[in-house]
Amino acid sequence: MKKTKKSGKQNIDAIESEDELYDDYDISLPEKQRNLELIIVAVIFSILCFMLIGNLAVYVKRDAQEAINNDYNPRQELLANRNVRGRIYSRDMDVLAYTKVEDDGTENRLYPYGRLFSHVVGYSTKGKTGIEYAENMNMIFSHDSLGNKITHELNEKKDWGDNVVTTLDLSLQQTASDALGVYSGAVIITEPSTGKVLAMVSKPDYDPNEIADIWDDLVEDKESSILLNRATQGMYPPGSTFKIVTALEYYRENGGDVSGYRYNCNGKFSYQGSVINCYHGSNHGSEDFKKSFAKSCNASFANIGTSLAVGSLRKTCDQLLFDKPLSTKIPYKQSSFALKDSDTMDDLLQTVIGQGHTQMSPLLLNMITCAIANKGVCMTPYVVDHVENVGGTVIKKYDPKQETVMMTVEEADFLKEIMEAVVTQGTATKLINDNYTAAGETGSAEFSSKKEDSHAWFTGFAPVDDPKVCVTIIVEGAGSGGEYAVPIAKRIFDKCMMMQ
Amino acid sequence: MAHVISDLSKYVICAFMAIYTLECLIGIIRGRKQGRGMYIRQVICMFMVHFLGFAAICLETGEPSYIIFYGFQEILLFAAIALFRVLYPEADRLLAGNMCMMLSVSFVVLTRISYEKSIRQFIIVAGSMIVGLFVPWLIKKMQFLKDLTWVYGGLGAAALAIVYILGSVTHGSNISYTIGSVTFQPSEFVKILFVFFIAGMFAKSTGFGQVCLSAVCAALHVLILVLSRDLGSAVIFFVVYLGMVFIATHNYFYLLAGLLAGAGGCFVGYKMFSHVRTRVTAWLDPWTNIDDAGYQVTQSLFAIGTGGWFGMGIYQGNPSSIPYVEKDSIFSAIAEEMGVFFAMLLIIVCLSSFLAMIKLAATLRDSFYRYVVAGLGITYIFQVFLTIGGGTKLIPLTGVTLPFVSYGGSSVLSTVILFAVVEGCFCIRESEEMQLDDV
């Protein structure tokens, strides 16, 4: 007893402050054990707090931008009252949309190119669509310089909202629109290596300057669905363009070797009571795989279809983003691959030549074509390059993003090779020229019981060795892809190559 | 000009908050070794945040009455810090500072949302402070408080039961008495009684029988709260009990059993009560229920998201669009106008208060006070987690308040008492160490 007292006293003498005494007491072993649970509790609740912080960070960084662009968010009106809605520019800074402020303070949203950009740029008064919708929040925020803000406030004027610079090219958009002419349909032009959308046309179109006046007519007119952006939301039977998918599947199921394939086409293919005819009853004669694809031979592809496994085909379609949400900010509709295990052989044969219940948007076909052109990697299509303040300082930059890997490099090369054959010896020979090479696939998608009615498809890219542009075209009810869609593609490719 | 100043002040406010938070963390790591400089820096930061907030408010509104109101607040905050320092030199200055920081943020945000409410709140805070000044003294002097275990348990359970039977229905929950014009929410105070009760139980014994007995009493509290539809408080009581059992018994089995029981309880609650299901649906997918069940959380997310990292600036946002903004969703209003970054710093300040309490618990020798401090610490931090997590869609919304910051008399008074009790325990530690010295 005496001894402990003494040592305790010595201890106190040895240390100077009460703090150190306290620390000394704290370090003794039983105390540590006693406090283990307290430490665990402290750690658990610290983790919870950092989860709060992490969750907030993720929300602000990743999800907030989309979340707040909602009609239920009353702050939109607040910001719109404070700032003049920003402009939308083409990639060369042509003004695609701007707000004109009258002397009495009334604001009008104007679109200098009228109907040329109607779907992709959209409108912002009767609800919002297109870029006007997707970039709404960015255009009503203002990151103007401090000096300007002070000046505006002193003059009791609104601040300038931030401007949106798109990836769209005015001359390409004009070419695409002219080439499509009076037909209904859609054209998408993208850059395969980045996913940049260079042009996006949908017809019939409307003049967004007059949206308030024509609104009632547009809404009532259910038949022609003018407001629908056919390029991203139109659902079409893919026709022969689906043979890209069938060819990929066949290549996969045969371990990457299709050299042994032979078929003798006499214009139709019969199997278990189903009959598949070639387009306009053409007789393609003896052909290998490449020629079957180049000539878009339905009979040969139906023959290929009989050997395919439905489950595996569906997996391939999954990988090609059928029935999958896309991460693009452009409003779109999901394409659907509708073949079930229980479906009949007839359904399978119709599906592999693109005539079954499969529904596809031009956007997805464009993405698949881009992946083929880009070594199997599909980039996310995007239409806004960056947001800048009124002075031109970049506020937010959108970088190219990889959407998914759709196929291996070998598979992409194989598809590239047979798509080149479509141009050199098949249904798209109109694209042959001295200045550049092209690859693609045509389609003539029958959409009614009358055999003559078909949508003309083309999807392809140029130049073959180093693809710079990827073009997807649909012309509604025109006829065959080779006759109606390929010439449009020709005009677009010519223009693109001239610009390079 | 006011807009621009308000726009700029948010960055400066954030910078002062960042310095304050940094000092908090240094304070927690270094414990009592740091000098007085830190506290002085913290107090300066606190007053700057308060000043800049009110400067923006006065400029935006152009109302001179706000300046007078600001003056009163300054006096109150200054008096609280000074008096506390003089009366209880041994008390923890970090905790006292954090309390004043949270209160000054509260004054700024509440004044911006509603002048009338902020005046009411100011009066309540002033009253609470006076009560709070006596509490540490009571804790220090009245050692017999340790022996009133069953009084705490009985009083608490009875208060909850009476509210359940008589209480008025507010927002679908029977959680408050109304006497005259004052609405009183007993569960806020019963939280403290409950911690004292459980601490008393375990200070006596941590044997199996005692654990069972305490579990039954805790379950009774939780059950009454669930029946009263006060889910937030029910979860807090449960978690506090679980934490205290674990700390007192050092038994991992109890923790595991408790967690399992909790999960089971959640499942049964989900199956049995439609209001629980509504909350869960609103949490899982607020966007498709944006008109009804999901309205509050989506409005809260709009506020936080539109504000972004540095906020829209005071008076530049639209916090009033969030339902119950001055109570459950005050955090979202702060994030909207003062920025998510500021709001994150606020979370760290709360966490530093909790860690200071746990550090104190670790150094207290008397197990009763040890359990009390740990229990109150868990009560505080878990309530912070519930309210912020609910508003940011991390967990379902439970409708509890953010201590010190939310509008509401019961909430502020009970949290002031909670902090004052902990400060009292700092004094207890001091006297324990004096005894050690005497040996």
pLDDT digits (tens, 9 = 90+) for B49-85: 999 999 999 888 888 889 999 999 999 999 999 998 8
DSSP secondary structure letter of residue A399: P
B237 and B222 in contact (C-beta within 8 Å)? Answer: yes
Beta carbons within 10 angstroms of residue B355's beta carbon: 22
A19 contact B CB<8A: yes
**A 107-146 → B contacts, CB under 8 A:** 137, 146
**Residue A160: its pLDDT value, please?**
92
SS3 B157: helix
Instruction: Kindly state the helix (H) or strand (E) to which residue A456 belongs, with its residue range.
Output: strand A454-462
The span from the CA of A92 to the CA of B400, in Å, is: 53
- Judge whether B425 is closer than 8 Å to chain A, CB to CB: no
Can you tell me the distance from the alpha carbon of A352 to that of A300, in angstroms, rounded to the nearest whole number?
11
CATH 3.40.710.10 given to domain A173-205+226-387+397-499 = yes
Q: Please confirm whether the linkage preceding A463 is cis (ω < 30° from 0).
A: yes
DSSP character string of B281-327: HHHH-TTTTTTTTTHHHHHHHHHHHHHTTT-S-TTTS-GGGSTTTTT
Predicted local distance difference test score (pLDDT) of residue A500: 76
Q: B53: which DSSP letter?
A: H
For residue B93, give every residue at least 6 positions away whose Cβ sits within 8 Å of its Cβ, in sequence order, or none: B39, B85
Q: Does B297 touch chain A (CB under 8 A)?
A: no
A 312-331 residues with CB < 8 A to B: none
Amino acid (one-letter) located at B254: Y
Handedness of CA A268, A271, A272, A276 (dihedral sign): negative
pLDDT profile of chain A (500 residues), mean per 10: 40 41 41 79 95 94 85 86 93 95 88 94 88 91 85 85 96 95 95 96 92 82 83 93 94 90 88 83 87 91 90 92 90 88 82 88 96 96 95 92 95 95 92 93 81 86 94 92 92 90
Q: Give the whole-angstrom CA distance, residue B101 versus residue B94.
A: 10
Task: Give CA–CA dist B92/A71, Å, rounded.
Answer: 49
Q: How far apart are CA B23 and CA B94, in angstroms?
A: 9
| Structure token digits, residue A59 | 């929300």
Facing residues of A160 across strands? A84
The answer to whether the beta carbons of residues A158 and A83 sit under 8 Å apart is yes
Look at residue B62 in the predicted model and tell me its pLDDT.
Answer: 84
Report the greatest alpha carbon distance in chain A. 116
Q: Is B3 on the interface with A (CB under 8 A)?
A: yes
pLDDT digits (tens, 9 = 90+) for B198-228: 999 998 888 888 889 999 999 999 988 888 8
In this structure, what token pair is assigned to residue A291? 């020629």
Select the residue from A11, A60, A138, A157 to test the B interface by mutation, using most B Cβ atoms within 10 A: A60
Q: Which residues of B222-260 are buried (b: 16+ CB within 10 A; e: fewer)?
A: bbbbbebbbbbbbbbbbbbbbbbbbbbbeeeebbeebee
Q: How far apart are CA A477 and CA B155, in angstroms?
A: 82
Residue A12 near chain B (CB below 8 Å):
yes
- The answer, for B119 touching chain A at a CB cutoff of 8 Å, is no
Which tokens is A175 given? Answer: 């070419």
Q: Does A49 touch chain B (CB under 8 A)?
A: yes
For residue A210, give every residue at least 6 positions away whose Cβ sits within 8 Å of its Cβ, in sequence order, or none.
none
Compute the average pLDDT of residues B324-348.
Answer: 93
Q: Is A222 on the interface with B (CB under 8 A)?
A: no
More confidently predicted of B235 and B433: B235
B24–A contact, CB cutoff 8 A = no
Name A1's Cβ contacts closer than 8 Å, sequence gap at least 6.
none
**Interchain contact B256–A (C-beta under 8 A):** no
Residues of B in contact with A146 (CB under 8 A): 4, 8
Query: Are A72 and B8 a contacting pair at CB < 8 A?
Result: no
Which of B315, B351, B371, B373 would best serve as a mutation to test chain A binding (most A beta carbons within 10 A)?
A: B351
Q: How high is the pLDDT of residue A375? A: 94
Q: Residue A99 phi/psi, 5° resolution?
A: -110, 125
Return the residue in A47, A48, A150 with the most chain B beta carbons within 10 A, the one to mutate for interface testing.
A48
pLDDT of residue A45: 95
| pLDDT tens figures, B285-301 | 888 888 888 889 999 99
Give the C-alpha separation, A205 to A74, whole Å: 31
pLDDT in the model for residue A18? 41
If one counts every other C-beta atom within 10 angstroms of the C-beta of residue A424, the result is 15
Residue in chain A lying closest to B290 (CA) = A72
Tell me which amino acid residue B348 is: I
| A22 vs B8, B247, B433: nearest CB | B433
Closest chain A CA to residue B433: A22
Q: In this complex, do A37 and B382 lie within 8 Å of one another by their Cβ atoms?
A: no
| Chain B nearest CA to A30, separation (Å) | 12
* Of residues B306, B321, B354, nearest to A45 (C-beta): B354
β-pair type (A268-271, A274-277):
antiparallel
Does residue B10 sit at the A interface (CB-CB below 8 Å)? Answer: no
Q: Does B354 touch chain A if contact means CB atoms closer than 8 Å?
A: yes
Distance, in Å, from the CA atom of A445 to the CA atom of A270, rounded to the nearest integer, reads 20
What is the least distance, in Å, from the CA of A162 to any CA of chain B?
15
A445 phi and psi angles, rounded to 5 deg: -90, 115
Q: How far is B168 from chain A (nearest CA, A)?
A: 32
CB contact under 8 A, B305 and A72: no
What ipTM does the predicted assembly reach?
0.93
Contact in structure between A428 and A486 (CB atoms under 8 Å): yes
Between B32, B347, B382, which is nearest A53 by CB? B347
- At A152 the pLDDT is 85
Helix (H) or strand (E) holding B212: helix B208-227
Phi, psi (deg, nearest 5) at residue A266? -115, 25
Q: What is the mean pLDDT of residues B420-424?
A: 93
Nearest neighbour of B388 by CB, restricted to A52, A137, A154: A52
Q: Give the pLDDT of residue A218.
A: 80
pLDDT in tens, B83-125: 988 998 888 888 999 999 999 999 999 999 999 999 999 999 9
Distance from the B181 Cα atom to the nearest Cα atom in chain A, whole angstroms: 33
Top pLDDT among B180 and B363 is at B363
Distance CA A34, CA A53 (A): 31
A interface mutation test: which of B241, B344, B369 has the most A CBs within 10 A?
Answer: B344
Q: Could you tell me if A70 lies within 8 Å of chain B, comparing CB atoms?
A: yes
Q: Please give the model's pTM, rounded to 2 decimal places.
A: 0.81
The number of residues in chain B equals 439
